[in-house]
Amino acid sequence: MVARVARLPRADEKESATLVGEFPGGMGANVASSFATLGGRAALVSSVGDDERGRRCLADLRATGVDVEHVLTIADATFWTIALLDAQGEKSLVEFSTRASAPQWERIDWGVLEGVRVAYTVGAEGRHACRLFAECRRRGVTTALDVETADLRDVLTLRELLAQTDLLFAPAGYARAIAQTQSLPQAARRLLDAGPSVVAITGGDSGCLVADGAGLTEIPGHAVAVVDTTGAGDCFAGAFLYGFVRDWPVEDCAAVANLMAAQSVTAYGCRGRLLGLAQLAALPAAAGLEILR
């Protein structure tokens, strides 16, 4: 649920808000939608509640081309969030967690990983994510992880998870916190040392830093009219993974991901403006991206 405010309120302040509307979201769903919109085959393993929000979520994913066979409908409310957006489109989020907030891990048939190129999850899944990545390693599936502030609380589990991660996505602030340094290049190197073979650190309109064994590359961002930054990092991850499973150079993966994320913030909702590959290629900002030609 998206609402606009003149500015994000601080402690003990009150701001008037204008309700914009409700939009489908969820980190995994956003990543899968971004990947599928570009032309990839994506499936989501998660859960929704037995309610109207859950049904709308599933309908939106199907319309995007995401396989929802492994999304369970359970007897609870669908997880939802209030997103407060300021005049610059920056956000503060309030989450209403339910049992339908994540995969029903105890019910997963790990055969779902057969034939999969890459599996994505978030650090908040903790020990469940460790189990997922162990199953991926047994099957030769590439592992991709996204981390947020809350993931920093269980340091031991995060350390174990990073050791099993092939591709790491992290916003700049979180990357600095995890690596305990203000230098993004140094943070990227320390995160590579923790296990991942590729690290992508996102910085919004300032672009991103991508690092692998060959070195570090800074990819510039794009100047766009920002409406809603919610889900931009997820759209980045989905686009990056699309190129990654096609063996694009990581710099090209990051450049296309930057472009996808920049377009996503020009409309309301986590994925209000996702573009297909041909649409991205037609943008003036894509003129230098040979990979899209």
Report DSSP letters for 219-263, one per residue: E-------S--TTHHHHHHHHHHHHHTTT--HHHHHHHHHHHHHH
Q: Is residue 112 classed as helix, strand or coil in its secondary structure?
A: helix
The whole-angstrom separation of Cα 171 and Cα 222 is: 17
Q: Token pair of 16, please?
A: 């008037």
pTM (2 d.p.): 0.95
Q: What is the pLDDT of residue 150?
A: 64
CB atoms within 10 A of CB 124: 18
Cβ atoms of 123 and 148 within 8 Å: the answer is: yes
CB atoms within 10 A of CB 273: 18
Exposure string for 66-102, b = 16+ CB within 10 A, e = fewer: bebebbebbebbbbbbebbbbeebbbeeeeeebebbb
DSSP state of 148: -
Q: Token pair of 38, please?
A: 């570009």
- H or E stretch covering 20: strand 17-21
The whole-angstrom separation of Cα 55 and Cα 169 is: 29
Q: Which of these, 94, 64, 88, 250, lies nearest to 169 by C-alpha position?
A: 250
Q: What does residue 32 show for φ and ψ, rounded to 5 degrees?
A: -60, -40
Q: Residue 42: exposed, middle, or buried by beta-carbon count in 10 A (0-12, 13-18, 19+)?
A: buried
Residue written as tokens 């993931």?
151
Q: Which of these, 71, 68, 92, lies nearest to 82 by C-alpha position?
A: 92
**pLDDT tens for the 293 residues of the chain, in order:** 999 999 999 999 999 999 999 999 999 999 999 999 999 999 999 999 999 999 999 999 999 999 999 999 999 999 999 999 999 999 999 999 999 988 999 999 999 999 999 999 999 999 999 999 999 999 999 999 999 866 667 888 999 999 999 999 999 999 999 899 999 999 999 999 999 999 999 998 899 999 999 999 999 999 999 999 999 999 999 999 999 999 999 999 999 999 999 999 999 999 989 999 999 999 999 988 889 98
- Domains annotated for the chain, with CATH where assigned, are 19-286 (3.40.1190.20)
Q: Is residue 144 classed as helix, strand or coil in its secondary structure?
A: strand
Residues 125-168: pLDDT tens digits?
999 999 999 999 999 999 999 998 666 678 889 999 999 999 99
Q: What does residue 127 show for φ and ψ, rounded to 5 degrees?
A: -65, -30
